Structure 1
């Protein structure tokens, strides 16, 4: 493929001979397969940032940066540094980028190798399609300050690319990309040699910091930069060897792989922490060859562990190394006036928030599955043994209810259910979240299984305060419809049932309710969270579960929890149903278990178990789905967001052209951290015919 500068010169030449520049640009776009919708998007970006000059729209340096710089970039590259790319887009060298220029630049960014191509265009100032030795040297020196560590252009490494014969050989595009890839390593070697005049193989800590700041300062957070001199503590002598410098540089160059290994290793670790052995073992298991040496692993853990490289570290401990924009948390906390009151108020508000969302989600889930619950209750009580249902010729319960009471029969008794389900589900979700939050390690985000079981059990136990009165009224409302038809009695409302039972009567069967709800929640919540994390990989590389994944995790977790607690639910229902003539009377929890087992057998304790699974599993699935969704779209306004490690691996995908523009800038900044600033400050276009290019370093 011809160099881009050659394509541009051809376009301008053709337009000068009478052809339309716009038509020529369209031809280039067509050759590179730019869809029309992409062109319209570029036009919107251009128009949104352009300024009107002499009746035409143009982008100056500032507006150009606004148009191409990634929004919320998670690197340490400042937005102003994107002005370096303005010189590539400004093909006419007039200090303005027209719509045609912008189209060409955006088309260039669609290339898969746009980052290296832009770097090539920056060095190819004469638009020849080749870069000579003098051209490379002059552009290099024009962008590096006088205080920079000098680079020897007469070195053997550069001659291997350029050649020895009078420096006449010019580099094509592919050769230039390989030169740029190895340039930083050669600069590192020369810088160490320059700062080690006695050639003893060591440099001072401040000299090491100077090297790293020039070559990779934009890749490191301020916290790591401040601790760069401490690298000398890894070995005796208070100096830094060439091996340590190379090892540190290798860590920086492979930071993406370092991050992947750390994230995967900490995710698989039982306690959410890893040591050097875990890091090296996971590295070896994740690649064909060993990626990192023991010295490189020591350096990683030295900076993550703030000098204590032997400790086990969580992902958050590596944040200062992985995230270039990481800011160290403030250690000094201003004294607060009456902190207990603030803490109690915050806790009350947060619990109230969870309570309200839990109530709404609970009502949503209960409404969806209430017909299943109606069938389940009828299976456990006398109704399907009555003469009315025997006449139904063995119809399944669904057909029987529909034939005798119609569709609304499936929702008989739902009123008290909806009134009571709000506090019931709300207190369960609130208590579980509260206990889990207190027991979770703030650094790893992990909670021990024992505390998960305790949190779920406490949540189930607390909900009985609301569950038992709710269910005894609901059950009596559900079964009285059948009894009214058989015995000719008028159905009674919820208020009458409550008055009839009294306060103590509303808690009849509470022991069985506790026996059901405590193990149910102790099974359900840990299963739910582990399914989200281990099966659907929530949080891995910033992943957020979809609606279906959340619903599946919540639904699957409810299956074992519902089935294994069926015996307690059977006994609770029998105790709460108002016994009629000819039916067995139960004196209490133990008596009910014994009589059911003797009279009906062991299988009776699991009677209706599948129906309970069919009811509880989707109910809690939709309840948790509603709860999680509400927390996303109605977040707690005063929540303290946990500190996270935000990098390109976890960020939402940005527009690919913006990513390539950023990567092109990184390649140029690898030459020197201040690359482009001096040339931009001069305001004079780069040109081989300009005396500034060869004398800029003397005039500055």
Structure 2
């Protein structure tokens, strides 16, 4: 029995490309989401946008963008390459992957990307966004910000929040890929057996996968942001202490702060990433025959 699977190098190329594009397009929503998750007075997404435009201009919405683009491109490349590898290992003779196996493949991909790419880039991006809201920011750009963080906190400083990042990325990828793969197989099986789905349908399926992912993993995202803020070392002993303080001092709904901008980002990026990925893979001929 033969079926087509993605070539590892092409998965990496396609994933890296769509990751960079997605990060730049959705950077303002990521900025607003991160700002809304810091402690202190609650601010609505519109308030954050208005105050940032007033004080910093449009460029203020792109604080930490370069760190996000670089980290996201590496993250997406590692994510798709890892997921496609795990998926091909777990697929049945027809090339289909059951929901539990897709969940396992996504979890593995999320853990790998968290260690290799996400934690360092997220730490730097979060600290730069936190710093940008100060009257006199101390970081003058990505390179200066990175070196300042390393000088102040050591090389492990860019790995602050590793545990919640691994949990978030594992859950993100597990939920996102499982939802996408399950819906894609269902739609293909009922409407277009043996044929590639058109971009419009792929975009909708990817968007639904992003929607499910946001609500399932938002608490982990909030904890991750708090642990990577500039004041984290003075406020929280570890991720569990951070979660406990949020729950007891601010209430359970605080775990879903930033849902709206993150929802906007993941729904758009879910549709964009999966659509572009499928298109790039088809253009570069990235699938090869697998014989079982």
Q: Give TM-score scaled by structure 1 length.
A: 0.38
Q: Deviations over 1:474-528 (max 9, x none)?
A: 0111121111x1xx35434333234433321111111111111111111110110
2:225 paired residue number? 573
- Answering whether residue 70 of structure 2 is matched by residue 413 of structure 1, we say no
- Which residues of 2 match residues 653-692 of structure 1 at below 5 A? none
Contact 2:130–2:230 (8 Å) recurs in 1 = no
C-alpha distance 370-538 of structure 1, shift in aligned 2 (>3 A): farther
Q: How many angstroms does 1:539 deviate by?
A: 7.5
- Which residues of 2 match residues 44-193 of structure 1 at below 5 A? none
C-alpha distance 456-411 of structure 1, shift in aligned 2 (>3 A): same
1:374 paired residue number? 31
With CA pairs under 8 Å and 6+ residues apart, which has the higher RCO, 1 or 2?
Answer: 2
2:255 paired residue number? 605
Name the CA distance, whole Å, in 2 between partners of 1:427 and 1:458: 11
Q: How many angstroms does 1:364 deviate by?
A: 1.0
Name the CA distance, whole Å, in 1 between partners of 2:252 and 2:40: 21
C-alpha distance 356-541 of structure 1, shift in aligned 2 (>3 A): closer
User: Which of 277, 281, 291 is 1:631 aligned to?
Assistant: 281
- Which residues of 2 match residues 14-33 of structure 1 at below 5 A? none
- State the number of aligned residues: 285
C-alpha distance 374-498 of structure 1, shift in aligned 2 (>3 A): same
2:289 paired residue number? 640
User: Which of 421, 430, 438 is 2:81 aligned to?
Assistant: 430
Name the CA distance, whole Å, in 2 between partners of 1:497 and 1:479: 13
1:619 paired residue number? 269
Contact 1:366–1:421 (8 Å) recurs in 2 = yes
Contact 1:361–1:626 (8 Å) recurs in 2 = yes
**SS, match of residue 506 in structure 1:** helix
C-alpha distance 608-378 of structure 1, shift in aligned 2 (>3 A): same
- Consecutive unaligned residues of structure 1, counting only runs of 5 or more, are 1-315, 318-346, 644-700
- Which residues of 2 match residues 218-233 of structure 1 at below 5 A? none
Name the CA distance, whole Å, in 2 between partners of 1:467 and 1:539: 37
Q: Deviations over 1:397-427 (max 9, x none)?
A: 2222111111111111111111222221111
Name the CA distance, whole Å, in 2 between partners of 1:539 and 1:361: 27
C-alpha distance 463-489 of structure 1, shift in aligned 2 (>3 A): closer
- Which residues of 2 match residues 232-251 of structure 1 at below 5 A? none
Name the CA distance, whole Å, in 2 between partners of 1:475 and 1:489: 13
User: Which of 497, 500, 514 is 2:149 aligned to?
Assistant: 497
Q: How many angstroms does 1:538 deviate by?
A: 7.6
Per mean C-alpha deviation after superposition, the further-off stretch among 601-610 and 590-599 is: 601-610
Name the CA distance, whole Å, in 2 between partners of 1:575 and 1:531: 34
C-alpha distance 371-384 of structure 1, shift in aligned 2 (>3 A): farther
Name the CA distance, whole Å, in 1 between partners of 2:278 and 2:150: 34
Q: Deviations over 1:287-322 (max 9, x none)?
A: xxxxxxxxxxxxxxxxxxxxxxxxxxxxx79xxxxx
1:357 paired residue number? 14
Name the CA distance, whole Å, in 1 between partners of 2:155 and 2:190: 44
Name the CA distance, whole Å, in 1 between partners of 2:226 and 2:193: 50
1:458 paired residue number? 108
**SS, match of residue 396 in structure 1:** helix
Larger Rg: 1
- Consecutive unaligned residues of structure 2, counting only runs of 5 or more, are none
Name the CA distance, whole Å, in 2 between partners of 1:550 and 1:395: 30
**SS, match of residue 445 in structure 1:** coil
Q: How many angstroms does 1:536 deviate by?
A: 5.7
Contact 1:477–1:492 (8 Å) recurs in 2 = no
Q: Deviations over 1:223-278 (max 9, x none)?
A: xxxxxxxxxxxxxxxxxxxxxxxxxxxxxxxxxxxxxxxxxxxxxxxxxxxxxxxx
Contact 1:357–1:627 (8 Å) recurs in 2 = yes
Name the CA distance, whole Å, in 2 between partners of 1:529 and 1:376: 27
Q: How many angstroms does 1:560 deviate by?
A: 1.3
Bigger share in helix: 2
**SS, match of residue 640 in structure 1:** strand
Contact 2:99–2:182 (8 Å) recurs in 1 = no
C-alpha distance 370-537 of structure 1, shift in aligned 2 (>3 A): farther
**SS, match of residue 565 in structure 1:** helix
- Answering whether residue 127 of structure 2 is matched by residue 476 of structure 1, we say yes
- Answering whether residue 177 of structure 2 is matched by residue 520 of structure 1, we say no
Q: How many angstroms does 1:537 deviate by?
A: 4.7
2:201 paired residue number? 549
CA RMSD of superposed structures (Å): 2.7
**SS, match of residue 568 in structure 1:** helix
Contact 1:363–1:421 (8 Å) recurs in 2 = yes
